[in-house]
Structure 1
Amino acid sequence: MHHLVASPTSGDHVVLRPGSPKALRIGASRFKDLSTAVECPAWLVEAGRNLWGLNLAQVPLSGTVLVREPQPYGWIRATHEVNLGCNYDCEHCYLATKQFSGMELDDRMRMLQILQDAGVLWFQITGGEPLVDRYFREVYTKAWDLGMIISILSNGSRLHDQRILELLDARKPQTITISVYGASETTYNALTRTRGAWNTFIKGIQAAREAGLCLRASLIVTKHNAHELDEMRGLAERWFESYDEYPIMGPTIYGGPESMFSQSYEHLRSRKPFTGCNAGTTFFHVDPHGHASLCKIGRDPYVDILTEGVEGLKRLNQIADVELQRAGACTGCGIQASCGVCPPQVKLYRQSKAPLATYCQHGKDREEVVRWLL
């Protein structure tokens, strides 16, 4: 089992330690040296000691450093939904029906190999709730063993499972980001519409903290828990390394409006201007069926990577050129440069028939939003 990963990335080369935020940038010549070295070179011994507290003196390189082969495709990051199912039933969930389905194990292993062949280094595992997926441990182990630096998005309810804790302790993730739905048992259980959810959430967080895992928080703010926002912030400051707040409820991935009715009107705010992104160029998303798309929002068109392989991912560049352009009702808009909604998300808002004021700066009639939400 490797301790370090050496990999090309964005025209550069890095050495990373799974589970650590610290990274070492190295030149092309040093990266090439790692491909033929028998023992860890002196510069890596020094870096290992100073950055990660590792003693690499006279240690064989093989089995200590996983050196990833350069790839010609330019992909750096990917996210993967292991399923769309969840053990919660949150009203605000953008996945809507939350059905358990997806690839069998052999296809998941093949998909991960394709991602490595594409050059994916930073890999986010999400769901649904990924920790309740029947193949989570196998997918996580395979991705980690391929040299991917993994982050996990979870509700934390299964982090107390000893099998999962042992896996994450042996093969450290970079971070685990936990969605926080309240600061009290009553509010948390009501929002998740799941009996006992608060207790398993607390149990999971305590177990992960004791295991020394890096935890971050996403505070999900809806009309059902907004009255506890200050308490949620306090909880996050005590238990997590850092946190972000998510107060805007968008449409479902199918363009349905049902997730938006949990919006706290008081917390509906303007977004930062959308100035483009790297979706379809250095980043992509893979759903439970092996369909690669621009991102979690822009799911169509997609590439079936199990059928088309790594070469098929090249089509995402062409898809991005089309899907990331303003079109339809946005054509001719005079304030596009300050618009905070990406084109694929605008498409979902239109499908949901949401009031213009929920997502467009031209929509000034906030009373219409209030009436619609109520």
Structure 2
Amino acid sequence: MYQQLADTVAARLPVPPWLVDAAGKAWAVDLANKRSDRAVIVRPATVLGYSRATWEINLGCNYNCEHCYLASRPFEGLSREEKFLMLAMLRDAGVLWLQITGGEPLIDPDFRAAYQHAYALGMMIEILTNGSRLHQHVDLLATMPPHKVTVSLYGATAESFDSLTRRRGSFKNTMHGLDAARAASVPFELTLIITKHNAHEREQMRTLAEQYAVPFKEFSNISPTYTGGPDPLATQAPEYLDKTAVFQGCPAGHTFFHVDPHGRATMCKIGRDNPIDLMAEGLDGLVRLPAIADAQMLRTGGCSGCKFSATCRVCRPLAKAYQAAKAPLNTYCQHGN
């Protein structure tokens, strides 16, 4: 069926009946009597099994949040042409779902061009943003809709919000972005970041999210930096730590991977050992990634032979970052209970 569709698109013939039927049933999309080359993107066949990727387009950020897991936020990375080349490699690796993050992705000078390029390559895109520049891009996002935009909410008032971001006016800017997205019908969700600065506003934050009538989730388990720096842990509100979630395994490095602003691929945002330079090695380098990921998931140090591994709350790379930060066991380990 893949080959039939590829031949149909190449010949600019109408969409095959089986796809017309499937698209109608699954998505209520009417492809009847439409030219296939105008309705379908046929990806090249690939031996790589990656369907998802996350990409830090740039680590630079216009906020200075205390809880940030990034050890530093330099404003640097690939050129626009190199970004396009990297996105083409993601396509050829099989990536259909792409999460664009940062830093703050919407302040990157190449964001619009990179987004348009990824969209044209047939990717479903999620944007992780603080929302402060969202109003500047709603025209693009309304014309080329993302899968969703996920906006972090740092409080329900300017006092708590600006305290956490350490940027005066950040609450006002983010609310402006959310209002603009709602007015333009851009699909977005909210992540409520719960810390010691805003825990007293938790119910107000929920109410604010409900007023926008969008899905939202809460995030309170603040982690160290991915290099093991302890500073973000000081922002935790201990009484709100989620101790119910159990780590169920992860396909990082096998079905998805992470790319940093310089085009270096790792298993995920946290497990950054032995990065693969896509710009130097190309897609061939990704063949090594599953083994690199498996090595990082091995329990070492104080986690070797742990009898509580079946109820562990975090993955091994994240536990390693907690250990490097000398975090209390109750923040990440069942022994803490």
Q: Return the TM-score normalized by structure 2.
A: 0.94
| Counterpart check, 1:228 vs 2:201 | yes
How far 1:42 sits from its partner (Å)?
A: 3.3
Give the aligned partner of residue 177 of structure 2.
Answer: 204
Give the aligned partner of residue 12 of structure 1.
Answer: none
| Counterpart check, 1:130 vs 2:100 | no
Q: What is the CA–CA distance in structure 1 between the aligned matches of 2:259 and 2:307, rounded to whole Å?
A: 34
Matched AA of 2:73: K
SS at match of 1:292: strand
> 1:151-300 alignment to 2 at 5 Å?
151-161=126-136, 164-300=137-273
SS at match of 2:319: helix
Q: Deviations over 1:123-164 (max 9, x none)?
A: 100011100111111111111111111111111111111xx2
CA contact (8 A) 2:226 2:318 kept: no
How far 1:247 sits from its partner (Å)?
A: 0.5
SS at match of 1:58: coil
Q: What is the CA–CA distance in structure 2 between the aligned matches of 1:285 and 1:305, rounded to whole Å?
A: 11
Q: What is the CA–CA distance in structure 2 between the aligned matches of 1:57 and 1:356, rounded to whole Å?
A: 59
Give the aligned partner of residue 281 of structure 2.
Answer: 308
The alignment's C-alpha RMSD in Å is 1.6
Q: What is the CA–CA distance in structure 2 between the aligned matches of 1:298 and 1:48, rounded to whole Å?
A: 38
CA contact (8 A) 1:254 1:348 kept: yes
| Counterpart check, 1:327 vs 2:303 | no
Q: What is the CA–CA distance in structure 2 between the aligned matches of 1:290 and 1:105, rounded to whole Å?
A: 12
Give the aligned partner of residue 97 of structure 1.
Answer: 72
Q: What is the CA–CA distance in structure 1 between the aligned matches of 2:30 and 2:221, rounded to whole Å?
A: 47
Which of 64-73 and 244-253 deviates more? Answer: 64-73
Which residue of the other structure, out of 74, 77, 81, is the alignment partner of 1:106? 81
Q: 1:36 to 1:232 in 2, by over 3 A?
A: same
| Counterpart check, 1:143 vs 2:118 | yes
Q: What is the CA–CA distance in structure 2 between the aligned matches of 1:249 and 1:152, rounded to whole Å?
A: 21
Matched AA of 1:150: I
Q: Deviations over 1:283-327 (max 9, x none)?
A: 100010111001011011211111111010011111112111111
SS at match of 2:234: helix
Q: Deviations over 1:313-348 (max 9, x none)?
A: 011111112111111111121111111111101111
SS at match of 2:99: strand
Q: Percent identity?
A: 48
Q: What is the CA–CA distance in structure 2 between the aligned matches of 1:200 and 1:260, rounded to whole Å?
A: 26
Q: What is the CA–CA distance in structure 2 between the aligned matches of 1:231 and 1:178, rounded to whole Å?
A: 17
Give the aligned partner of residue 88 of structure 1.
Answer: 63
CA contact (8 A) 1:297 1:345 kept: yes
> 1:19-38 alignment to 2 at 5 Å?
29=1, 31-37=2-8, 38=13
SS at match of 1:314: helix
CA contact (8 A) 2:43 2:92 kept: no
SS at match of 2:38: coil
Q: What is the CA–CA distance in structure 2 between the aligned matches of 1:305 and 1:189, rounded to whole Å?
A: 38
Which residue of the other structure, out of 37, 40, 45, is the alignment partner of 1:65? 40
Q: What is the CA–CA distance in structure 1 between the aligned matches of 2:59 and 2:213, rounded to whole Å?
A: 26
Which residue of the other structure, out of 305, 310, 316, is the alignment partner of 1:337? 310
How far 1:207 sits from its partner (Å)?
A: 0.8
Structure 2 gaps of 5+ residues are none
CA contact (8 A) 1:85 1:100 kept: yes
Structure 1 gaps of 5+ residues are 1-28, 365-374
Q: What is the CA–CA distance in structure 2 between the aligned matches of 1:336 and 1:44, rounded to whole Å?
A: 45
Q: What is the CA–CA distance in structure 2 between the aligned matches of 1:240 and 1:95, rounded to whole Å?
A: 31
Q: What is the CA–CA distance in structure 1 between the aligned matches of 2:123 and 2:135, rounded to whole Å?
A: 24
How far 1:97 sits from its partner (Å)?
A: 2.7
CA contact (8 A) 2:199 2:237 kept: yes
CA contact (8 A) 1:151 1:174 kept: yes
Which residue of the other structure, out of 76, 90, 105, is the alignment partner of 1:115? 90
How far 1:51 sits from its partner (Å)?
A: 5.3
